[in-house]
Structure formats: C-alpha cells, structure tokens
Amino acid sequence: MSAPVSAGAVWRRVLPVWLGLMALLALACAAAYAPLGPWTVAVSFGIAATQALLVALLFMRLDSASALIRLTAACGLFWSAILFSLSLADVLSRLTRT
Amino acid sequence: MSTRVAESPASLADPDELALGLPESYLSAGSTLGSWLTTTDHKRIAILYALSVTLFFFIGGVAATMVRLELFTPQADLVGADTYNKLFTLHGVIMVWFFLIPSIPTTFGNFLLPLMIGARDLAFPKLNLASWYLNVLGGLTTTAAVLAGGIDTGWTFYVPYSTTFSNTAVTVGVMGVFISGFSTIATGVNFIATTHLLRAPGMTWFRLPLFVWAMYTTSIIFVLATPVLALTLILVAAERTLGLPIFDPARGGDPILYQHLFWFYSHPAVYIMLLPGMGIVSEVITCFARRRIFGYEFMVYALVAIAVIGFFTWGHHMFTSGMSPYAALIFSFLSFVVAVPSAIKVFNWTATLYRGQVGFESPMLYVLGYIGLFTVGGLTGLFLASIPIDVHVQDTYFVVAHFHYIMVGATVSAYFAGLHFWWPKFTGRMYPETWAKFAAVLMFFGFNLTFFPQFIAGYLGMPRRYHVYPPEFQVWNVLSSSGAAVLAAAYLMPLGYLTWSLFFGARAVNDPWNASGLEWRTTSPPPRDNFFGRPAVLGKPYNYHPEGAEPVHDQPRMPSQGSLT
Amino acid sequence: MSDPAIATEALLREPWDGLKLPEEQALSYQRTGATFGIWIFIASEVLFFGALFLFYTAVRAEHAEAFAAAARETNIVYGTVNTALLLTSGLTAAAASRASEHAALIRLTRWCLVATALLGLAFLVVKGLEYREDIAEHLVPGPGFKLPEASAQLFFGFYWLSTAIHGIHLMIGIGLVARLIVIGWRHPERIPGNPQVEVTLLYWGFVDMVWLFLYPALYLAGRSG
C-alpha cells in the first residue's frame, strides 16, 4: 500500500474526489432545468453513473482492489444487465405494439 | 513424490499421529442444547439445518398428502376449494423455500465444503450460525401465516390476486420467505469466500471435487438471484399493507413486470435446487463405479454454464402471460440452450459408468434413479420450452409432472443419495444396507407411479390447482395418489432406519466406501478442526484409476476405527 | 502492514487464525476475506436495487408524461441538500477507512466515523422534513391524491418505497458506524487495522451510490419544459 501516514496525506487523497462529486451534483441540478429534450434523462443518469463510478473507484477503492474484488463488483453489474435487458425486451416491445 | 504416495499412503503420516487412540469428534464437543444453539462449527450447523429442513419437509409432505387424498375422486369429498388452495400453496411455499432451496447446500454443503477443500471451517462461522436462525425464523413466520388462516395464492404469489384480492395471510407469508432469503444470501457469501480463500495447499480450482463446484455455482445464484425475489416480495407486501400502487392495473401498474421479477429469481432457483444434486451424483457415481469422472473439465464448465445461462431463460414461464411474442421467442431459444450443459452432464455420468466396476450399494441406487428421473424431467422441459407445446399444456398437470421430476425426482433422490453416502461420516454409524436399498428402489417406483400419470392427465388437458376434475381423469389420479402412498412410505423408511442406526448401528470406519475425497481422510465423525494437521493435495479428484485398484490417497489415513462420539 | 501498534492478536478471528500463517499475514488474509465477503454482499445488493430501478424504468417507459408531472411535485431543494450531505458523509467515510490503516491516525479515524454517522443522521432529519411536507401536500397514493392521473400515483409508490428502503439501509449503516465508534471509545486499540472498519465503510459507500441514482430518478425528471 502506498501508505499515507499523516492526516494531511489522507485528505489529499479524498478531498479532490469530493470536490469533483459536488461539482457534478451542481451540474446535474443545472442540467435538469436545461431544455435538452429527450437527452435530459441520459444526462442526469449519466452524471449519476459518473458519480457512482468515482465513489466506487476512489472512495471504495476499487482502483487499487484485487482482480477478484473488481470481478465481484462487475458481476453485480453484469447480472443487473441481464435483468434489465431481457425484462425491457418484453416491456418495450409490448409498448411499441400498442 | 507422487509415486511414493501411491505405494504407501501411510508413509506420509506422522507416526505420532497414527499412534493416537480414538480422537475426539465434533459431536463430543458439548452435548447441551446451548452448545448446539451457539455453535459456530460448520458441522454442527449442518446438523441444525438437517433437523429444520427435515421438519419442513414433513410439513410440506403432509400438505401434499392431503392434496393427493382429495384428488383420489373427481368430487370434493375431503376439502373444499378454499382449503385446497391453501393446501397446495402451503405445500409449494414450504417445499420450495424451506426444503428444496436450503436442503443440500445448508446440510451437505455446510458439512462437506470445508472438509472437501481441506479447510478448518467456513470463512465466516458466525454468519453461518446467523443464517440458520434466519432460516428458522423465516420458516416459523411462514408457518405462522398458515396458522393465521393460510395463503391461497399458490407459491408464485402472482399479482394482482395476491396484492388486491386475496383475503388470506399473504403478507406474513411473503415476509417469512423474505427473511429466509437473507439466510440463503448469507450462506452464498460464506461458500464463495470459503471456496476462494480457504482451499488447502495444492487444492487448485481444477482439483476441486465437483460437489464443491456445484456449491460454488449454486452460491453464485444464491447471491445474485435471491435479492431480486426479496425486493419483489417487499413490493407485494407494500402494495398489500400500505396500499401503494405498484402492480395495480387499475392505476397503470404492470402485473407482467411482477412475473419478470419473480421468475428472474425463481427460474435460477430451479438450478439452486438442481446443481447441488448434480454435485452429489458426481461424487457418488465415481465412487461406486470406481472410475474417474468422465470429462472433469467439461463437468465444471457445464455447472458454470447452467448457473449463468439459467439466468437468461426465465421468460419460458410466461409464454401465455401476455408477454410480447418477440421476448417469448428469445426466451424460448435461450431455454433450449440451457439444455446443452445439462445433457453434457447426463452423458458424462453415463460415460463414467462405462467399463466401471459398478457396485449397487444404496447411494448408487439413488443416483441411478436420479439419472433416469432427471433425464425424463429434462426432456419434458424441452417440450415446455417450445412455445406451441407450452401454450397447449400451460397450467396443466404436464407442467406439474415436469417440475416434480426435476425438483423431487432428481433433487430429492440426490439428497437421499448424499444422506446415505455421507451418513457414516456425519454420524460415525452405519445404517442397515438392505433396508436402504429397499427404500431406494421403492422411492424410484413410487415416484414414477405418482408423477408419470400426471404427464398423461396433463397432456389430455387436466388443469392444475383444481380440487375437482372431470371423471375421465380419475384413472390417472387414482394411479397418482396410489403412487404417492408408496412414495410416502419410501420417504418415511429412512427416517426410521437412520434414526435406529444412530443408536444401534455399527461403528463406521473412516472410509467405508473406499472413496477418494479429502472428507474421507479424517475420522468418522471428524474432529472439531476437521483434520489433524493441515492437509495438502497432490492430484486430481476421483483418483480411482487404474481399474480395480484402490484409490490413491494424498493424505495420511487416520486410525480407521472412527472417533469418540 | 508492519505498523507495530496494530493489535493483531485481538483482531484475528476463526478460522483465519488456524491457517498456520504468521499473525500479521493471517490478519491481512482475514481482511481480504472480509472485504471480499462484503463485496459479494454488495453485488447482491446491486441486484436488489437493480430490481427496484427496473420497476422504475419499466413503469416510466409506460407512463412517461404522468411520471414527469409527478416528479415535478418532489422538492428538489431537500433532494439536493440530502445528496450533498451523503456525498460529504462518503468523504468522511473514505477518510476514516484510509486513516484506520494506521494506528497513528486513530484520532482522525474516530472523528471521521463520528462525522459520518452525524451526516447520515442529518440526511434522515432532512428526509423527515421532506416526508412531512409531502404528506401535507397529499402526495401519498390513495384517495385524495394531489394529481388527477392514476398513473402519477405509481411514481409516488416508487418514491415512498425507494426512499424508505434506502432510509432503512442508511439506518443500518449508521448503526454499524455507531458500533465502531463505541468500540473505538472503549478499546481504541481495536480500531486500527480492524477489518470491520473497512467492511462497514464499504457498505456505507454502497448506500451512497444508491442515492446517487435515486436523486435523478426522483428529483430531476420533468424539471425542464
């Protein structure tokens, strides 16, 4: 581990991430009121995904985690993708038919 | 090194260890109730689970008996429509969530997984104990729902009936299942972490016994499917108790979405019930055919493939639900795909028997029965995966027969195979073999007599979940109910003679079947810490070659007379 | 981890102590196991909330206008303040997790744990204020609901349920952090290097992430136009 030993070293690692997250929050809030039409959903959830990625990588330290743990996290996403894609295959194709 | 081991396994042993008298087993580590209820020993927790699972099996069995008794005649003579609905719901809920899902993983898995990989315990022993308490709490909650008037929705809790119309104790029932879900997730987390981190030196992934692979793949399903069910049950409970609109079609809700969420869990749950049995079959069939498993790597890939592809097929339960036909087409195709690895397993087991020195001891009889019943159940599954046939037989006894062949015929046979195979290891006692053989054969015939007629009745159009039926179906129902009586006898017999053996059975030696796994390299029953010293593994599992030879043991043998119980 | 002040012996648990490893290595391996275990659980939780968001996605696709109209009724001020509170608690949690690796940073660890729990409580207080306002505005589905379209109630079905489930997760997180605070108060030597610190704070991080997706789902839909 690239051991930070002083309190300052700990904060230097995490504070910039927090600033980035707060900036993204402000951006998301502003973008929600912007006239982006159908892109609004993509932008707001895209920002959320970016924030979640930052939290996972830098707060929960997936960036320095072992391959096994990254794989575990990826499994959660992959299986969610199965759930979403096959369920929505039905829901969306039902919608287009009616 | 390895040739020396082959010549004389005992040459590896520490002479001091061999000179030990009878070692102390896990059973003698304390006999008070408190010592059992606070234990963190994976073996004792397995015994706790065995007791609770057996209790729930017989609760579910009583309900099944009532159902079959009612169906003996076409009229309603024993129970009315409402009671009948509650009976088959009770049977389904208890059998699925409190017997079939936990049965093999929490008993055999808990007991054997650390032994088979050469570990001292599971990774998180306290979590393991907590999972038993959650399971019992869930089971008692669901049983309380029965006492509070029962549930009449069927085990599937389909909305909007379960949320809007049913006047029965649905909320309490689903909360019981919800609680037990945490129990299975905890077990899954424990098994995965244990398999990854606590394997003995030399126990590489491709030296794992197939039972361990089966537990590992089952745990993946536990962890990734169960939370979806948990959330779905919360949605049902919230809609019922808080009146929140979730699936209510009157307010724009989508009941088909409920079925997606439910079957995203419940179809993989079929593989939760199936994969552990496949693991047991692989252990038993190699031992009694004295052969190395045919195509070990492909058996592993097949287990993994079933676990993963099993998540892609849930829609075949919904072909007639109003789901989009495009989605139905995709699900039908994917359901055919999952049959491939299942077929690989059946072919490889059969090939394992080829030129083996097949013995017909009771565990092997159960396993041979398993292969037959699983094949019938699997092939009729292909009927149901093809949309035109499914539309014809949806909600008939054909479906009932199909899933009972898989979940009862196959899985329960495997459960009994494992119970007999490892009974000497669990308890240190031998059971009466003649009785066991008789029960195994009786179970096979009783099962087929019960459920094969249901294929015919179903194909002829008899719908499921009715307490009355047209008289032309009576012949099939009489056959089925008679078979159920035989089956009940076959299930009760082991309860009798296994209990008898606890007190009067002969002391088991450490390796009564001359089997090859690590769990046989310790005493019967094993000591608290499982092994004397830390085992190391030098070769592949199922070391039964060459033909007729004794298996090659990696480990020093313990004194063969078992341990103090 | 060669930090001499880490109380290895007090932290080692069964069965990791029986691996015939030196104590420090065994503790490090135990920590690997604990981290792996909580990540498996988090993957499981991803599916749990995944199912909840699937419900949202499907119903929003089926009733896009009603959802936009209903989402405009939520109070974006409360939502944004709460997001900021949770992100800040994520900051203190991450700092506590990193500081807990070093016995020299025990004070920082403890203060960050306290701050994390307090920020979590602040979130719940704001949530409570928001609930009170929602109830006053008749945003509880059922008779007398504020909006005329029936399917707008679906959005608020999701709103109440998802915030309640997230709130329960957060309360569990606060409880776990509070437990660490108590341990650190009674036995300060048991905090540095303790695998439970990282496990608890990983769980906290996950609860944060869930909210990051609930925020656009509940507060940002239907604001423009």
CATH of the domain at C160: 1.20.120.80
Nearest to C90 among A7, A59, A61 (CB): A59
Show the domain range for B136: 38-521
C39 in a structural domain:
yes
C1 in a structural domain:
no
Q: How many other CB atoms are there within 10 angstroms of residue B103's CB atom? A: 27
Interface contact C66-B252, CB threshold 8 A: yes
- pLDDT range class, residue B547, cuts 50, 70, 90: low
B541 in a structural domain:
no
Nearest to C223 among A5, A32, A92 (CB): A32
- Quickly list DSSP for chain C: ---TTS-HHHH--TTGGGSS--HHHHHHHHHHHHHHHHHHHHHHHHHHHHHHHHHHHHHHHHTHHHHHHHHTTS-HHHHHHHHHHHHHHHHHHHHHHHHTT-GGGHHHHHHHHHHHHHHHHHHHHHHHHHHHHHHHTT-SSSTT-SSS-TTHHHHHHHHHHHHHHHHHHHHHHHHHHHHHHHHHHH-GGGSTT-HHHHHHHHHHHHHHHHHHHHHIIIIITT---
B32 in a structural domain:
no
B545 in a structural domain:
no
Neighbours of chain C (3+ CB pairs under 8 A): A, B
pLDDT of residue C18: 84
3-state secondary structure B57-124: HHHHHHHHHHHHHHCCCCCCCCCCHHHHHHHHHHHHHHHHHHHHHHHHHHHHHHHHHHHHHCCCCCCC
pLDDT of residue B4: 38
Residues from chain B contacting residue C33 (CB–CB below 8 Å):
123-124, 193, 197
B530 in a structural domain:
no
pTM: 0.94
Start-to-end C-alpha separation, chain A? 57
Show the domain range for C99: 17-220
C27 in a structural domain:
yes
pLDDT of residue B532: 84
Q: Which A-chain residues 64-93 have CB contacts (< 8 A) with chain B?
A: 68, 75-76, 79, 82-83, 86-87, 89-91, 93
Q: Is the pLDDT of residue B31 over 90?
A: no
- pLDDT range class, residue B356, cuts 50, 70, 90: confident
Percent of chain B with pLDDT over 90: 83
Q: Is the pLDDT of residue C4 over 70?
A: no
pLDDT of residue C21: 87
pLDDT of residue B1: 34
Q: Is the pLDDT of residue B280 over 80?
A: yes
ipTM of the complex: 0.95
pLDDT of residue B11: 47
Q: Token digits for B3? A: 């040739």
Q: What is the pLDDT of residues B392-429, one digit of tens each?
A: 999 999 999 999 999 999 999 999 999 999 999 999 99
- pLDDT range class, residue C142, cuts 50, 70, 90: confident
pLDDT of residue C222: 87
Residue of chain C whose Cα is closest to the Cα of A5:
C102
Structural domain count, chain B: 1
Q: Is the pLDDT of residue B40 over 60?
A: yes
Residues from chain A contacting residue C97 (CB–CB below 8 Å):
61
Interface contact A69-C108, CB threshold 8 A: no
Average pLDDT over residues B498-502: 96
pLDDT of residue C183: 95
Q: What is the pLDDT of residues B305-325, one digit of tens each?
A: 999 999 999 999 999 999 999
Q: Is the pLDDT of residue B548 over 80?
A: no
Q: B150: closest CA among B133, B172, B134, B128?
A: B172
Please give, rounded to a whole number of angstroms, the shortest distance from the CA of C5 to a CA of chain B.
26
- pLDDT range class, residue B550, cuts 50, 70, 90: low
Q: What is the rounded distance in angstroms from the CA atom of residue B308 to the CA atom of residue B313?
A: 10
Q: Is the pLDDT of residue B562 over 80?
A: no
Q: Please give the single-letter amino acid code of residue B563.
A: S
pLDDT of residue B565: 52
- pLDDT range class, residue B469, cuts 50, 70, 90: very high
Q: Which B-chain residues 125-164 have CB contacts (< 8 A) with chain C?
A: 125, 127
Please give, rounded to a whole number of angstroms, the shortest distance from the CA of C201 to a CA of chain B.
18
Structural domain count, chain C: 1
C6 in a structural domain:
no
Percent of chain B with pLDDT over 70: 92
Residues from chain B contacting residue A86 (CB–CB below 8 Å):
260, 312, 314-315, 327, 330-331
Interface contact B196-C36, CB threshold 8 A: yes
Residue B550 at interface with chain A, using a CB cutoff of 8 Å? no
Residue B231 at interface with chain A, using a CB cutoff of 8 Å? no
Q: Are C120 and C180 in contact (CB under 8 A)?
A: no
Interface contact A80-C50, CB threshold 8 A: yes
Distance from chain centroid for Cα B386: 27
Average pLDDT over residues A63-82: 96
Nearest to A88 among C58, C76, C216 (CB): C58
Average pLDDT of every residue of chain B:
91
Average pLDDT over residues B263-274: 96
Question: At a CB cut-off of 8 Å and minimum separation 6, what does C130 contact?
Answer: C75, C78, C79, C82
Residues from chain C contacting residue B264 (CB–CB below 8 Å):
51
Q: Are B119 and B131 in contact (CB under 8 A)?
A: no
Q: What is the rounded distance in angstroms from the CA atom of residue B415 to the CA atom of residue B423?
A: 12
B13 in a structural domain:
no
Q: What is the rounded distance in angstroms from the CA atom of residue A86 to the CA atom of residue B77?
A: 45
Least confident of B430-434, B513-517, C170-174, C204-208: B513-517
Residues from chain C contacting residue B119 (CB–CB below 8 Å):
15
Least confident of B16-20, B247-251, B322-326: B16-20
Question: At a CB cut-off of 8 Å and minimum separation 6, what does A95 contact?
Answer: C61, C62
Average pLDDT over residues C111-120: 97
Least confident of B381-390, B537-546, C178-187: B537-546
B561 in a structural domain:
no
Q: DSSP secondary-structure letter at B468?
A: -
Least confident of B356-370, C42-56, C141-155: C141-155
Interface contact A44-C43, CB threshold 8 A: no
C69 in a structural domain:
yes
Neighbours of chain A (3+ CB pairs under 8 A): B, C
Neighbours of chain B (3+ CB pairs under 8 A): A, C
Residues from chain A contacting residue B254 (CB–CB below 8 Å):
91
Q: What is the rounded distance in angstroms from the CA atom of residue C191 to the CA atom of residue C179?
A: 11
Residue of chain A whose Cα is closest to the Cα of C63:
A95
Residues from chain C contacting residue B534 (CB–CB below 8 Å):
19-20
pLDDT of residue C2: 44
Residue of chain A whose Cα is closest to the Cα of C94:
A59
Residue of chain C whose Cα is closest to the Cα of B235:
C161
Average pLDDT over residues B228-237: 97
Interface contact C44-B124, CB threshold 8 A: no
C141 in a structural domain:
yes
Suggest the residue from B251, B256, B323, B529 to mutate for an interface test with chain C (most C CBs closer than 10 A): B251
C49 in a structural domain:
yes
- Cα dist from B408 to B277, B412, B527, whole Å: 11, 5, 33
Residue B312 at interface with chain A, using a CB cutoff of 8 Å? yes
Q: Which A-chain residues 36-55 have CB contacts (< 8 A) with chain B?
A: none
Q: What is the pLDDT of residues B152-179, one digit of tens each?
A: 999 999 999 999 999 999 999 999 999 9
- pLDDT range class, residue B563, cuts 50, 70, 90: low
B535 in a structural domain:
no
CATH of the domain at B382: 1.20.210.10
Interface contact C51-B232, CB threshold 8 A: yes
Interface contact B312-A90, CB threshold 8 A: no
Q: Is the pLDDT of residue B545 over 80?
A: no
